[in-house]
Amino acid sequence: MSALVAPWPISLILEPEVFIPLVYPGLVVLTLTLLGIIWLERKLTAKVQRRYGPLYVARKLGGAAQPMADGIKFVFSEQIIPRNTDKLVFIFGPLLLFTFSILPVIGIPLSPGYTAIASDISLLIVVALVVIAPIVLLMVAWGSNNKFSLIGGLRDGYLMISYEVPIILSILAMAALYNSLDLIEIAEAQAGTWGIFLNPLAALAFFAAMLIATGRFPFEIAEAETEIVAGWTTEYSSALYMSNMGTSYTRMYVMAHLFTLVFLGGWNPLPGFLPASGLLPGLMILVKSLAVMGLMVLLRSIYPRFRVDQGVRIGWHKLFTLSMAAIALSVLLVASGVWG
């Protein structure tokens, strides 16, 4: 694969089957991105709100190490497991949840040929893996044996049915447009025009559904602090709480990557110094995904949250209609011969 002859441990890591799950977009970069995006979220919000935000941990970098410090604090604080919870679910639920939320990254290719699972339905695999996690979340909420947790979990369940349909429909609209379910082919097809310009309706529907799915404002309904404390994660403390918090951001990370690949042209266009194959085009994906995530977290400082009934109504009335319109647009584009 690589033109350079590297010593075997390095070449092993550079193999896509290892690199993608472990380094990028897998664990290592995921962890760093989470720390970065939490910091970015706090900083952006603080700037809009006319204050400083995190400042003192790693002062020269504007407090960038604050999430790290918080993480260390979380891990070393006491892990409390309430007496009346279902202990098995309570402990393993968050871990399972985290695993399921990180699983979809294995389907994400970094460049033509550089992918962990070479499949012509990789888009479906990613989407299928993305929508498993909410079921585990419901289980965790139930296992906590707390009314607030239960309400939070149920809210997430309600929302799940409202965002999954638009996500899948808008993805289908794009698949119809590119005539493929392979993420590599989809990304390559966008070498000229990005998907967001071809079918902005699908992009809008997907983006909004993505906000619901990841619990970002204005759809931060399942964890609404002033209403139900912390929703499904109310009873959690210490490292397990950190895992829960990480889950929400991981989902955002995964969805942002999917959005980049399907709508923002993936690794296209490549600057001159990047080769068109191997893992380096992944940098382009990372940059775009970070921008998407930045936009998603910026909305925190602009919107209040919807009520759960309003969230579900938006999912079914607006986003469903929008994604159906997106499919119609795709079909029109293909049938009229404008595209494809």
Partner 1 sequence: MRVKELGKDRRAETITLFIGPQHPGSGHLRLVVELDGDVVVGIRPDIGWVHRGVEKIAETKKFVQVIPLIERPSIIDSANMNVGYVRAVEKLLGVEVPDRARYIRTILCELNRIASHLYGIGIFGNMIGTSTIFMWSFGDREIIVELMQELTGARLTYSFFLPGGVKGDLPDGFEEKLEKGLRYIENRIPEYNALFIENPVTEDRLKGVGVIDREKAVQIGLTGPNLRASGVEYDARMVGEYGAYKDLGFKPVTRPEGDSFARLMVRFDEIDGSIGLIRKAIREMPQGPIMHERTKGMARQVLMKVPEGEAFSRVECGRGELTFFVVSKGGDKPHRVRMVTPSFRNLIGFETALVGHRLADVPTVYGSLDYFPPEADR
Partner 2 sequence: MTKSRTLRHLRAIRTGVKHLLFSNRLTCPYPDARQMVSERYRGMIRLNMDKCTSCMLCARACPANAIKMYVMDGKKLPGLDYARCIFCGFCVDICPVKALEHTTLHDVAYLDYKENQFPPEKFAEGGKDPYYVPGGVVMVEIHDKKGLLYKKKAVEKEEKIVKEEIEHVSKEGTET
Tell me which residues touch partner 1 (CB under 8 A).
Answer: 45, 48-51, 147-148, 151, 217-218, 220-221, 224-229, 300-310
Distance of closest approach, residue 47 Cβ to partner 1, in angstroms: 11
Name which of residues 54 to 113 contact partner 2 (CB under 8 A).
Answer: 55
Q: Is 52 in the site for partner 2 (CB under 8 A)?
A: yes
CB of 306 to partner 1, least distance (A): 6
Q: How many Å apart are CA 213 and CA 276, to the nearest integer? A: 33
Asked whether the beta carbons of 302 and 153 are under 8 A apart, the reply is: no
51 binds partner 2 (CB under 8 A): yes
Q: Does 44 bind partner 2 (CB under 8 A)?
A: yes
Whole-number minimum distance, CB 308 to partner 1, in Å?
A: 6
Pick from partner 1, partner 2, none: which does 306 bind, CB < 5 to 8 A by kind?
partner 1
Which of partner 1, partner 2, none binds 55 (CB below 5-8 Å, type-dependent)? partner 2
Is residue 297 within 8 A of residue 41, CB to CB? The reply is yes
Q: How far apart are CA 260 and CA 303, in angstroms?
A: 24
Q: DSSP letters along 187-229, please?
A: HHHTSSS-HHHH-HHHHHHHHHHHHHHHT-TT-TTTT-HHHHT
Give the residue with the Cβ less far from partner 2, 48 or 118.
48
Residue 182 CA, chain-centre distance (Å), reads: 19
Contact window for partner 2 (CB under 8 A) among 40-48, 134-142, 153-161, 199-207 = 40-48
Interface residue with partner 2 among 298, 324, 333, 334 (CB under 8 A) is 298
Minimum Å distance from CB 42 to partner 1? 11
Nearest to 107 by CA among 35, 16, 14: 16
Rounded to 5, what percent of the chain is helix, strand, coil?
70, 0, 30
Q: Is the distance from CB of 249 to CB of 173 less than 8 angstroms? A: no
Q: Measuring CA to CA, which residue among 296, 148, 311, 149 is closest to residue 217?
A: 296
Please state the closest distance from residue 116 (CB atom) to partner 2, in A: 37
Identify each DSSP E strand in 5-157 by its residue range. Answer: none
Identify what 228 binds: partner 2, partner 1, none; CB under 5 to 8 Å per kind. Answer: partner 1
Q: How far apart are the first and last CA of the chain?
A: 31
Contact flag: residue 274 with partner 2 (CB under 8 A): no
Stretch that binds partner 2, among 67-75, 112-120, 279-287, 295-303 (CB under 8 A): 295-303
Looking at beta carbons only, is 257 or 305 nearer to partner 1?
Answer: 305
Nearer to partner 2, 138 or 325 (CB): 325
| By the rule CB under 8 A, 301 interacts with partner 2 | yes
Q: Which stretch binds partner 2 (CB under 8 A): 147-155, 167-175, 221-229, 299-307?
A: 299-307
Q: Is 47 in the site for partner 2 (CB under 8 A)?
A: yes
Q: What sections of 144-194 are H helices per DSSP?
A: 147-178, 183-189
CA 301 to mean position of chain CA atoms: 19
How far from 32 is each of 94, 110, 235, 272, CA to CA, in Å? 20, 18, 26, 27
Residue 142 binding partner per list partner 2, partner 1, none, with a CB distance cut-off of 5 to 8 Å that depends on partner kind:
none
36 burial class (0-12, 13-18, 19+ CB within 10 angstroms)? middle
Report the residue count for the chain.
Answer: 340
Q: Per CB under 8 A, which region of 34-42, 153-161, 276-284, 298-306 contacts partner 2?
A: 298-306
Q: Specify whether the CB–CB gap between 28 and 279 falls below 8 A.
A: no
- Binding partner of residue 239 among partner 2, partner 1, none, CB cut-off 5 to 8 Å per kind: none
The smaller minimum CB distance to partner 2, of residues 45 and 144, is found at: 45
Binding site residues, partner 2, CB under 8 A: 44, 47-52, 55, 298, 301-303
